[in-house]
Amino acid sequence: MDLNITCIPGDGIGPEIVAEAKKVLEKVAAVYGHKMNFTDILMGGASIDVHGVPLTDEAVATAKAADAVLMGSIGGDTTTSPWYKLPPNLRPEAGLLGIRKALNLFANLRPAILYDELAAACPLKEEISRAGFDMLIMRELTGGLYFGERRTVEENGVRKAVDTLVYDENEIRRIAVKGFDIARKRRRKVTSVDKANVLDSSRLWRKVVEEVAADYPDVTLEHMLVDNCAMQLVKDPAQFDVILTENMFGDILSDEASMVTGSIGMLASASLNDTKFGLYEPSHGSAPDIAGKDIANPIATVLSAAMMLRYSFDLDREADAVEAAVKQVLKEGYRTGDIMSPGCKKTGCREMGDLLAARIV
Ligand code: NAD
């Protein structure tokens, strides 16, 4: 395949980790006979420094013309960087919100995987972590409470604030379809999470998810209330395959799920629109405290690139090869500083990229 990928190196450790992900993708292209064309664009602080704004129309146009976008991360030290003296609409994060909106990315995917070799970092009891887990949280990203009408008023001297949680059936259907499609690439189980015992929006969510499920008889559907799901994530995380949920529940549950893995440098993510297009990025930030030192862990970005191969390009074999390379490198005892444990071999960011690329077969 001939693949056009727009890269956003971004700020802080972004350029270092994106360089390693490109290295691994280039090896995939060489081994599996693809051509990958990379075009870099500026976003966040890097764009502010050159253009005075965190995202230009030209950068958006370049991203839109690509088959997929691979991003590092954006932003600087929020207390010392001059970027944070700018008005909010000109700060680095405005670039991220702007590109998500421009690309209509409504589905956010965050895998939470416990690797055997990193089980010691898992904060759960050993009898729970021993079973391992490999789940994917699919969160609706452009609707619900964060986008509903809101206001703060004063009535008879009492301040009152109102937020509204709105979903229409089309918004629910398109994310449910994504969730079931993706479950077909995994273990074929969807846990739809809602608060249908209280909220009308959740009752509609449940109905529409059931309608979509009728088209996927090969995928098991279960419903779970969000409060129960929050408990089950720490009690028995191995039960989950795809967790499908609305915006705010997904925001909270995906952070909870990622924390039970215990390894921030390992967490990939993807945001998709209703075509095969997606923006792929690590879940962590730009880590300005370690930027430029060649010590960042590039694995979250490399695993995000694997998600790009799987979900935007349907190159499952190639995605499997990248994920297998990550497992192999961990098995051989190589670790960046953030996941280091006694007896392992400490590597830098570039060396980790070299090791991963060498294990793509
Ligand atoms: P962070 O995720 O950047 O860092 C938190 C801690 O984890 C730091 O100690 C950092 O050194 C460490 N860390 C993170 N990624 C690592 C990696 N790959 N390897 C080794 N260690 C790693 O969070 P923060 O410090 O709260 O935010 C820093 C900046 O990143 C802020 O400007 C924030 O707004 C931005 N941010 C951007 C995104 C994004 O681009 N999507 C997401 C979150 C935060």
pLDDT in tens, 168-185: 999 999 999 999 999 999
Domain end position, chosen among 260, 292, 315: 260
Q: What's the pLDDT at 238?
A: 96
Kindly report the protein residue whose alpha carbon is nearest to atom 4 of ligand 1. 287
Number of domains in the chain: 2
Residues of the chain with confidence (pLDDT) below 50: none
- A 10 A CB-CB count for 166 gives 13
User: Mutate which of 73, 284, 338 to test ligand 1's pocket (most atoms within 8 Å of Cβ)?
Assistant: 284
Q: What's the pLDDT at 252?
A: 95
190 and 278 inside one domain: no
Q: What's the pLDDT at 105?
A: 96
146 and 222 inside one domain: yes
Cα–Cα distances in angstroms (integers) from residue 35 to residues 29, 38, 139, 285, 311, in the given order: 6, 10, 32, 29, 18
What's the CATH code of the domain at 2?
Answer: 3.40.718.10
Q: What's the pLDDT at 11?
A: 98
Domain end position, chosen among 260, 281, 299: 260
Q: What's the pLDDT at 12?
A: 98
Enumerate residues 6+ apart whose C-beta is below 8 A from 320. Answer: none
14 and 109 inside one domain: yes
What range does the domain containing 118 cover? 1-122+267-361
Tell me the C-alpha distance between 108 and 123, whole Å.
25
109 and 216 inside one domain: no
Q: What's the pLDDT at 107?
A: 97
281 and 355 inside one domain: yes
Q: What's the pLDDT at 262?
A: 82
**C-alpha torsion sign, points 251, 257, 262, 268:** negative
22 and 93 inside one domain: yes
158 and 207 inside one domain: yes
Whether the Cβ atoms of residue 141 and residue 248 lie closer than 8 Å to each other? no
Kindly report the protein residue whose alpha carbon is nearest to atom 24 of ligand 1. 285
92 and 146 inside one domain: no
Token duo for residue 151 = 């206001």
Domain end position, chosen among 260, 295, 316: 260
Please say if 195 is a catalytic residue.
yes
Cα(286) to ligand 1 centroid in Å equals: 4
Q: What's the pLDDT at 121?
A: 87
Alpha carbons within 13 angstroms on the beta-carbon side of residue 13 total 26
Please say if 251 is a catalytic residue.
yes
Q: What's the pLDDT at 175?
A: 97
Q: What's the pLDDT at 263?
A: 86
